A = this chain, B = another copy of it.
């Protein structure tokens, strides 16, 4: 394998939102999940579960939460769950207390599930599949919990669709290296200002070209607009109801 082949694969990432009708085989699903499991895990705790959704009614219901048609139409739909339920059950058997309600464990569950997810994404892309993360399942976390029958000690973080790509997708330029990588201490925005201004110009051009001039917002416009609104206010209450962040 060429020395930089994997790095080229990583840098070639783009979200895929249209798939052929071909479903992932059970063998492929198992290979992807096992790749996910090989990721690092905090103190070996493995605080996550992956749910594959194949039931057409459940997929439709999840699509309605997300509003994205590709949540229904894909090669396979994975949902990533932060999961201390099995640890809780093992502790109950031994009459041992279990402290997954701390903020520390919320971080651990979120990190563990996300490490696994990104391994799954890369494994999928390495065999020619396309993927897209589905953060929009958090539009209605309580409903996702109901659909997937998630007990206390678990909560759904995000989904991921995978499948055989029916379009090319396009690579979206990231923030300049200089803005994201700092040395020894945090550098405030002033120090990186020019880098971000240049980036904003390129992003505006990217949209202009792709929309025949209908759209020309910058990255800064987008994030300011997004964080302007208070969104997904129910997430806090739902994760607490599931037993987390109760410190």
Show the binding face of A for B, using Cβ within 8 Å: 1-7, 9-13, 15, 29-31, 33-35, 37-46, 48-55, 58, 81, 84-87, 89-91, 94, 96-100, 102-105, 107-108, 110-111, 114-115, 117-119, 121-123, 126-127, 132-133, 135, 138, 148-151, 154, 157-158, 171-172, 174-175, 177, 179-186, 188-189, 192, 196, 219-220, 222-224, 226-233, 235-236, 239, 245, 247
Contacts and interface: CB of A to CB of B under 8 A. Distances in A.
B104 A231 contact: yes
5 contacts: A10-B39, A37-B177, A98-B228, A103-B239, A103-B245
A185 B94 CA distance: 26
A183 B52 CA distance: 5
Given A86-B179, A174-B38, A219-B44, A104 B184 contact: no
Given A55-B184, A102-B233, A126 B222 contact: no
Given A50-B180, A99-B227, A121 B91 contact: no
Given A31-B7, A127-B4, A245-B103, A226 B186 contact: no
Given A97-B228, A108-B135, A90 B189 contact: yes
B33 A10 contact: no
Given A99-B230, A104-B231, A51 B184 contact: yes
A31 B181 CA distance: 11
Given A54-B184, A98-B228, A110-B114, A189 B119 contact: no
A224 B44 contact: no
B87 A227 contact: yes
Contact of A157 (B30, B38, B86, B107): B107
B228 A96 contact: yes
A42 B184 contact: no
A103 B107 CA distance: 12
A247 B103 CA distance: 14
